[in-house]
Amino acid sequence: MSVHALRGGARAEYDVVLVGAGLVGAALALALAPQSLRVALIEAQPLDQMEQPGYDERTTALSFASVRILQSLGVWSALARHASPIRHIHVSQQGGFGVSRFDAREVGVDALGQVLPNHHLIAALLDRLGRQEDLDVYAPSRVVAVHQDGGRMRVRLEDQTERFEIHSRLLVAADGAESPVRTLLGVGVTRRDYGQSAIIANVSPGIAPQGRAFERFTPDGPIALLPLSEARCALVWTVSSLAQQWALELPDAQFLEELEARFGRRLGRFERVGRRRAYPLALVRSRRMVEGRTVFLGNAAHAIHPVAGLGFNLALREAAILAEILAEATDPGDRDILEGFEQRIERYQDQIIGFSDALPRLFAQRFPGFEHARSLGLLGLDLLPALKTGFVLHTMGLDSGMPALARGSGPSRITGGGP
Ligand SMILES: Cc1cc2nc3c(=O)[nH]c(=O)nc-3n(C[C@H](O)[C@H](O)[C@H](O)COP(=O)(O)OP(=O)(O)OC[C@H]3O[C@@H](n4cnc5c(N)ncnc54)[C@H](O)[C@@H]3O)c2cc1C
């Protein structure tokens, strides 16, 4: 990998230019590495400042299928020791009697998923990318203009000192929910504000989670607790937008009391909470996944409610499918190729987005009798083995349309050792 702070030495013509070295852009760059494509990765931030470790580190719940993809990309061996397995998921609602439990053993696997600090994930991806000789990285550099010009995209970059232009046959915008590339190309979004914010923090409960993840639905929104190392849990507590400041400003002891009042004492008393951060929640979906020779991926394509922790998992799957489809292409920006990509991802994407959108709204309904129906729904899920197994396989990211990388059969010429 050559990192270009300046234009000097870089090529101007690429097959694929990826904008954004967040989790999604970095994963796609790695998935493309075995192919003989000229690839450039552009990132606005300095690469060594992407995520910070510590008690307050941010985490991502990875589905079973995502772990398989990361294994195929050759990064899991560096990540496994930092991961906390999810062996059991407990779903309940405040004030309702129904409970549903999902156990890894029921579907014959060791773990339903893994929870991983983001800084380890991005560091492992960037480290592996650093060993790819054919990849050009422009960081810190910002994309400031894009134009389609016949069979190529013209991409204008700006770093601390100058502006310059590179060209590619395919442009992939993995530049986040506010996607500057999407705006520059005039592609609109559909947006639904949930009127909610996710309060994120790491907490230490009295009883170590030991592989248990919890999803608890309250009238204000869901609370997710995911197992982390050092007996911590990653908390994602959804509150109404009006309660955001309240939740951020409460003294620690009171915050933990409020949490316990809603979550109960399944994990004993909460003893510590780290720094709290708020993320206003909205479903933002690009009106198009493909615009000419540009593909939108990750949050640039769809930023979804974090209730089920599926945003990155969905994006990683789509990145793996794109890499698989490009392996067969002579022109990576060819219209038929990109249409094939859209068709392949459409159905599953709609299902996951629909699920993540419906779940918090279903549990937010306050009509008389609704709580009872929901309790029965949770009980039904727990009692009907076929339905439950289907639900679990879905959240594990396992279905018939999985990318080859998730089946462990993708191309393998990623430099730097095996999984
Ligand atoms: C509270 C919360 C919890 C979540 N938990 C989970 C979970 O448990 N599991 C899960 O699967 N998903 C989860 N998600 C979703 C997940 O975080 C996102 O899907 C993921 O971060 C999207 O990554 P990305 O690479 O698309 O975007 P980003 O991480 O936003 O990366 C975009 C990158 O593009 C760069 N960029 C922007 N503009 C430019 C430009 N002009 N030029 C160059 N570079 C540019 C940015 O600097 C950035 O590095 C959660 C989300 C939230 C909000």
Ligand 1 neighbour 299 (Cβ under 6 A): yes
- 85 in contact with ligand 1, CB cutoff 6 A: no
Q: Does residue 20 have its Cβ closer than 6 Å to ligand 1?
A: yes
* Ligand 1 site, residue 309, Cβ cutoff 6 A: yes
In terms of C-beta density within 10 A (0-12 exposed, 13-18 middle, 19 or more buried), how is residue 397 classed?
Answer: buried
**From the alpha carbon of 24, which atom of ligand 1 is closest?**
25
Spatial separation of the C-alpha atoms in residues 35 and 324, rounded to whole Å:
10
CATH architecture of 2-190+282-407: 3-Layer(bba) Sandwich (3.50)
Q: How far is it, in rounded angstroms, from Cα 414 to Cα 321?
A: 17
Q: Say if CB 322 and CB 28 are below 8 A apart.
A: yes
DSSP 8-state assignment for residue 48: G
Mean pLDDT for the chain? 87
Alpha carbon 410 to chain centroid, angstroms: 21
117 lines ligand 1 (CB under 6 A): no
Element holding 292 (H helix, E strand): none
In this structure, the dihedral spanned by the alpha carbons of residues 266, 267, 273 and 277, taken in order and rounded to 10 degrees, is -50
Tell me the pLDDT tens digit for each residue of 291-311. Answer: 999 999 999 999 998 877 889
Query: What would the mean pLDDT of 348-358 be, rounded to a whole number?
Result: 88
d(CA 316, CA 65) in angstroms, rounded, equals 9
Spatial CA neighbour of 239 closest among 202, 201, 196, 281: 196
Tell me the C-alpha distance between 264 and 64, whole Å.
28
Helices 385-395 and 370-383: angle between axes, nearest 10 degrees: 90
Rg of the Cα trace of the chain? 22
C-alpha 310 – ligand 1 centre gap (Å): 12
Q: How do beta strands 152-158 and 142-149 pair?
A: antiparallel
Nearest CA to ligand 1 atom 18: 312
- Tell whether the model's pLDDT for residue 128 goes beyond 90: yes
Q: Is 214 in the pocket of ligand 1 (CB under 6 A)?
A: no
- Ligand 1 centroid, distance to 298 Cα (angstroms): 7
DSSP symbols for 74-104 = T-HHHHGGG-EEE-EEEEEETT---EEEEEG
Distance 20 CA to ligand 1 centre (A): 9
User: Between the CA of residue 204 and those of 239, 247, 251, what are the distances in Å?
Assistant: 20, 17, 16
Mutation pick for ligand 1 pocket among 23, 63, 281 (CB with most ligand atoms within 8 Å): 23
Q: How far is the CA of 21 from the centre of ligand 1 (A)?
A: 9
Tell whether ligand 1 has an atom less than 6 A from the beta carbon of residue 40.
Answer: no
Spacing, Cα 262 to ligand 1 middle (Å): 29
Distance (angstroms) between ligand 1 centre and the Cα of 119 equals 12
What pLDDT is recorded for position 1?
60
Residue 306 CB less than 6 A away from ligand 1 = yes
Whether residue 378 contacts residue 371, with contact meaning beta carbons closer than 8 Å, is answered with: no
Angle, nearest 10°, between helix axes 335-362 and 311-326? Answer: 170
* 174 CB within 6 A, ligand 1: yes
313 lines ligand 1 (CB under 6 A): yes
User: Exposed (0-12), middle (13-18) or buried (19+): which is 241, by Cβ within 10 Å?
Assistant: middle
**pLDDT value at residue 385:** 55
- Is the pLDDT reported for residue 216 higher than 50? yes
Poorest-confidence range of 24-33, 112-121, 212-221, 275-284? 212-221
Residue 381 three-state SS:
helix
* pLDDT reading at 78 higher than 90: yes
Say if ligand 1 is within 6 A of residue 89 CB: no
**Residue 120 in contact with residue 229, Cβ under 8 Å?**
no
pLDDT at 418: 38
Statement: residue 159 has pLDDT above 50: yes
Whether the pLDDT of residue 413 is over 80: the answer is no
Report CA torsion sign: 250, 252, 254, 259: positive
Query: Residues of the chain with pLDDT > 90: what percent?
Result: 67
Q: Looking at ligand 1, which residue's alpha carbon is closest to its atom 29? A: 22
Which of these, 51, 127, 46, 175, lies nearest to 414 by C-alpha position?
127
Ligand 1 pocket, 24 CB below 6 A? yes
Report the C-alpha gap between 282 and 306 in whole angstroms.
Answer: 10
Contact 116 CB / ligand 1 (< 6 Å)? no
Residue 19 Cβ contacting ligand 1 at under 6 Å: yes
Q: Is 133 helix (H, G, I), strand (E, B) or coil?
A: coil
- Give the per-residue pLDDT at 406: 86
Q: Of the spans 101-105, 184-188, 352-356, which averages the highest pLDDT?
A: 184-188
